[in-house]
Amino acid sequence: MVSNIRSGQNNKDIKQNKFVVVVSVLVLIWIIGFASAKIIGVAFGEDLIADSLAIVQIHGPITIDSTNTLTFTAGSSSSILSNIEKAQKNKNIKAIILDINSPGGAVVASRELSKVIKDSEKPVVAWIREVGASGAYWIASSADRIVADHLSITGSIGVSASYLDYSGLLERYDISYQELTAGSRKELGNPLKDLTAQERLILQKKIDRIQEVFIQDVVENRGLNSQQVAKISTGEFYLGEEAFQLGLVDVFGGRKEALAEAQGLANLTKLDVIEYKEKRSILDFFTRTTAYYIGKGIASELGSNRVSSIAIKA
């Protein structure tokens, strides 16, 4: 009897050990396969394609980094910058194409990308597909050429602010709000109380300053005259054909025309392309309808250590 029990236990231990071994082997194979794919991709992929063009995606709302739990890595400036850096370091890549389909995003992220593109030692072509508005146009304006469809949505070079005021809701349900702060403006932008005239003025000055910097960069990047500046300063969005008349777009077309522009700028006789794509996010479904976000691109919440409903959008 004891012998049978021991035999059964040994069989059980053997099965468990086999399971552990199988799982370990599978994990090891996966790790080796993943590492090999990375090595092969570098050794036999893009680094062996001589005199090529790189396409870098800028899709969806632009965020600072991939730590944003809503957008994951889609449109994160850190991910986009990483791809641009790879293209810059690859000696075989002679020009970069920005594949843009974005309503814009965070102020700092948009300007950060704009500066990197402006400082690029390699020619850069911005290809605006469905939407390249607000912060996304800020980025595109730094490129050497901008290609867009006649009906692409561009521009939206202005700033607005949205504010949700919950103070009336508190009053309706007889809920009082008590404020304890050190600093008279610490609660600036708190949605649980009305904006005072002074607070509204403070916010307006910040909005005006962001618009001023936005316009200055676009004017400098595009070499616009005073008449063009007066028109784009309204924050209006433009179709590609309107943007062309205002000096915001250089060439009509799509991928084919963008590739031709980049090929010409880089003086390439043949056309090989390396694509750096963003990881897709759960919000891609929503970014397909980016027309709803016209003029609502650059968003930066004011205030910290509390829930604030004021967001600056350029």
Active-site annotation holds for 134: yes
What residues contact 175, with CB distance under 8 A and at least 6 apart? none
SS3 content of the chain, % helix, strand, coil (to 5): 45, 20, 35
Tell me the three state secondary structure of residue 58. strand
Distance in angstroms (rounded) separating the CA atoms of residues 195 and 203: 10
The structure tokens 């605006």 sit at 128
Distance in angstroms (rounded) separating the CA atoms of residues 301 and 189: 9
Active-site annotation holds for 231: no
Pairing of strands 237-239, 153-155: antiparallel
**What are the angstrom distances between the C-alpha of 40 and each of 86, 205, 273, 285, 304?**
16, 53, 18, 33, 46
C-alpha 246: how far from chain center: 25
Of 110, 134, 156, 300, catalytic: 134
Q: Which two tokens stand for residue 53?
A: 């063009």
Tell me the three state secondary structure of residue 241. helix
Tell me the three state secondary structure of residue 63. strand
Of 78, 120, 160, 186, catalytic: 186
C-alpha 37: how far from chain center: 27
The structure tokens 């179709």 sit at 239
Distance in angstroms (rounded) separating the CA atoms of residues 314 and 296: 6
Residues assigned a catalytic role: 134, 186
